[in-house]
Amino acid sequence: MAGKRVFYFSIAISGLFLATALAAPETTVLPRSAPIPEQADRPDEKPEPPAQAPADSAQPPLPTPKPEDTAKPDDKDAPEPEQEAEEAEPDEDESMLPDPRSTLPMAETMPKDAKACRVRLKEIGVDFEDGQASENDPAGCALPFPLSLKSFGKDIEVEPGLIVTCGLAERAARFISDTVQPIAKKTLNKTVSGIAQASGYVCRPRNGTRKLSEHAFGNAFDIAGFNFSDGTSLEVGKESAGAEKTFVEEVRKAACGPFKTVLGPGSDADHASHLHLDLAIRRNGGTFCQ
């Protein structure tokens, strides 16, 4: 009887263990190593620092400066806005570049060299009158002791009258009588009886520049044509051939030297109709002839 109890007890214990095993949850198999965390979870990487605020935000804001009082009621000399705008626009004449001759003081009496020049003109038969002086021109033009020229010598008229300096008048008169006249006799077998001038004293800048022209000082004149004693004439700007062309070319070439600037047809469009002659002072006494 006792043996049966032991047998039944063993069976009961075995059944209890079997029931416990069946009721236990399924065992999870662990991996050999822990899973690698994603990069965002790595402990060895420092978290991205927050965006820095602008440098000036770290400092306390500066007080807003007070605007300047540009319209003080007691400032009576302050110009009106419209007046300032008018003054800001440069005058066309005042935009010309300065020339030393513009500021030379005018002598109260005619200088000795100007008087001597007039004596020489009379000796070679030049007909002239003293002209009205031009000074203190806002553009800078100046002609202190001008001449109103009526002829370049005996039987060589100037049409129309020419206003220039005495120095230019003397140089032109001698050039025409001593150089142009012989060239006319050689190439055309004619005698020059008159000069058709296109420009003498004119207050203006050089064409296309802001520099005052030699015309602005009565130091230049333009020849538009030649008149001859037989009643014929020759226009400088008119296309010519043969002896007439040779005459103009030789006169133009001979002028380079007695005059410091010689321009004419072919130089540029502004001188297509005349010969420009002046006594501009150039470096080392040089010339500019085109």
How do the domains of the chain map onto residue ranges?
A: 100-289
Specify the higher pLDDT residue, 39 or 139.
139
CA-based radius of gyration for the chain = 52
Per mean pLDDT, which range of 11-15, 121-125, 138-142, 149-153 is the poorest? 11-15
Average pLDDT of the residues of the chain: 76
Q: Is the pTM of this model over 0.85?
A: no
Specify the higher pLDDT residue, 203 or 228.
228
Asked whether residue 50 carries a pLDDT value surpassing 60, the answer given is no
Handedness of CA 74, 75, 77, 79 (dihedral sign): negative
Which residues are bridge partners to 153 per DSSP?
156
**181-203 average pLDDT score:** 96
* Closest by CA position to 213, among listed 139, 163, 152, 134: 139
Asked whether residue 199 carries a pLDDT value surpassing 50, the answer given is yes
Give dist(CA 130, CA 164) in Å, integer.
10
For the chain, percent of residues with pLDDT exceeding 70 = 64
For the chain, percent of residues with pLDDT exceeding 90 = 50
Asked whether residue 23 carries a pLDDT value surpassing 80, the answer given is no
235: CB partners within 8 A, 6+ apart: 224, 225, 273
Q: Which pLDDT value is given to residue 273?
A: 95
Q: Which pLDDT value is given to residue 95?
A: 55
Asked whether residue 270 carries a pLDDT value surpassing 80, the answer given is yes
62 vs 53, 56, 59, 68, CA distance in Å? 17, 10, 9, 17
